[in-house]
Amino acid sequence: MTTTDVSRVAAYREVTDRNGRVYRVGESDIDIMGRKRKWMVILPWIGMMGISSAEYAFASAEDTLHEAHSWSSGSIYWMMTAWVFCQAAVAFPAGRLRESGRLPARWAMMLGSAGTLLGYLSLAFAPHVALAFIGFGVFSGMGAGMVYATCVNMVGKWYPERRGGKTGFVNGGFAYGSVPFVFIFHGYMDGSNFRWVLVACGLFLAAMVAVAGFYFRDPPKNWWPAAIDPLNPPDDPRARRSLEKNPPAVKQYSPLEAWQTGRVALMWFCLACTSGVNIFGIAFQVDIGEDAGFAAGIVATAMSLKAIVNGTGRGVIGWLSDLYGRKQCLLYVCAILGLAQFGIIWSAEIKNLPLFLIFSAISGFGGGAIFPMFAALTADYFGENNNATNYGMVYSSKLVSGLGAGMGAVVVGAWGYNGAFTLAGCISLFAGIVALFLHPPGRTKGKHVTPNPRPLGEG
């Protein structure tokens, strides 16, 4: 019997909680797709690693691209800004297509794979910087946006009862997947070998995305794990605590309904601020380290450490948010990210390498941890059925925060590194103050409740 046959005959029923939310129960992950749902964590994680180097390792390739193509540093930083802009811009429309069924997850990943390859080919062979802007900034950015949105939302659909740790783990692939490429681009690639290095990297990473995406599959709308009772506190202590700290959305909000609650706008603003600080740090971590007199190899190590902690921090904070609550962890993350910027300034001024590495790592932790918090928080507040679209609205804030690289270059030119990093720290702290006003729609403020105490009926 094929996987399709299994999903057709699997028995399920729909139950309704006191808020009117419908849960589809009775089908296991194996019933639906013929394999354990853990594969919808592993495969998205691989897909995220395949697109990570385009953002997190790009700054390490800046010197070589400048030398090989005679592109100005400003043009290269704005190219990264274009990539981030297009990655964020595609999130909402791709989410709409995904939720409507017109863009299956597998095809979204295939398009992302093609964009990844085209981006690296453009960096290798573009005869003019304008073509690199189109190939890398636009097409690679859009491809990465499709992969990112598909992977992050996929895991949230398959783990609705404890999505924090799983979402954080998958999200982490977007950072530490770039670690080897930081060393390759900064320490090995040069004007004599850059073309074949970029082509080889592009082929390898595009293959990662395509192979992982080939096995993607969404669960049915309203699906809930068969082993977890959505109407009563679950026996599993991990799931019970996660649902107590992060109750499911009271209903499945449409994008318009989600926007009308006012929470999307608050999330959008907070993510724009913190993501902009993160992107600024990625772009100028190498520069401030070299300006402080640290050796190039040490600076590359600091950047790699930042990427490792950035990725690992996403999984750790996701796990902690299941235990202590998504909003509480988000507030701590905003404070950590902001204070770390002042630590980087101080350690660079006194030329203390150990402190520079420590604060770089702390900044990486904070900069990475914000993303799974908002991804999971969106599903917590508005439900899973339209999460690709709803999170697409929130994630579109990177349309603004992507200016962290290009505008960062302007601020550094005007105020120097101290002024720019001080501004970044203050922006992150202010985002934490704004996040205090986040509250799940449809629930009494400050009150934790049992997820769905009793049924009112069954469908």
Binned at pLDDT 50, 70 and 90, residue 453 comes out as very low
Q: Is 100 exposed, middle or buried (0-12, 13-18, 19+ CB in 10 A)?
A: exposed
* 50-84: b (≥16 Cβ within 10 Å) or e: bbbbbbbbbbbbbbbbeebbebeeebbbbbbbbbb
Note the pLDDT tens digit of each residue in 14-30. 888 887 888 999 999 99
Using alpha carbons, select from 421, 402, 413, 277 the residue that is nearest to residue 348: 421
pTM: 0.80
What is the secondary structure of 285-320 as a DSSP string?
A: HHHHHHHTT--HHHHHHHHHHHHHHHHHHHHHHHHH
Residues 352, 353, 359, 363, CA torsion sign:
positive
Tell me which residue has tokens 């469908």: 459
* pLDDT for res 297: 67
Average pLDDT of 99-105? 88
Amino acid at 192: S
Rounded Cα distance, 334 and 337, in Å: 5
* pLDDT for res 4: 43
Note the pLDDT tens digit of each residue in 233-268. 777 787 788 888 888 899 999 999 999 999 999 999
* 113-139: b (≥16 Cβ within 10 Å) or e: bbbbbbbbbbbbebeebeebbebbbbb
DSSP class of residue 223 equals B
* pLDDT for res 10: 62
* pLDDT for res 21: 87
Tell me if 380 sits within 8 A of 246, measured CB to CB: yes
Using DSSP's 3-state secondary structure scheme, residue 412 falls into helix
Average pLDDT of 60-84? 82
Binned at pLDDT 50, 70 and 90, residue 88 comes out as confident
* pLDDT for res 451: 46
Note the pLDDT tens digit of each residue in 298-314. 766 776 777 778 788 88
Helix (H) / strand (E) element for 388: namely helix 387-395
**Residue 446 pLDDT more than 80?**
no
7 vs 352 pLDDT, higher one = 352
Residue partners of 444: CB distance under 8 A and separation at least 6: none
Binned at pLDDT 50, 70 and 90, residue 3 comes out as very low
Note the pLDDT tens digit of each residue in 405-420. 667 777 878 888 888 8
Note the pLDDT tens digit of each residue in 367-391. 888 988 999 999 999 998 888 899 9
Rounded Cα distance, 95 and 103, in Å: 9
- Average pLDDT score, the chain: 85
* pLDDT for res 175: 78
* pLDDT for res 212: 96
Using DSSP's 3-state secondary structure scheme, residue 451 falls into coil
Using alpha carbons, select from 406, 416, 415, 428 the residue that is nearest to residue 58: 406
Note the pLDDT tens digit of each residue in 134-152. 999 999 999 999 999 899 8
The tokens describing 269, both together, are: 């603003």
Tell me if 268 sits within 8 A of 440, measured CB to CB: no
Helix (H) / strand (E) element for 23: namely strand 22-25
Note the pLDDT tens digit of each residue in 47-61. 999 998 887 777 778
Using alpha carbons, select from 81, 64, 286, 279 the residue that is nearest to residue 184: 64
Q: Compute how many other C-beta atoms are within 10 angstroms of the C-beta atom of residue 457.
A: 9
What is the secondary structure of 182-214 as a DSSP string?
A: HHIIIII--TTTHHHHHHHHHHHHHHHHHHHHH
Residue 178 has φ and ψ, to the nearest 5°, of -90, -10
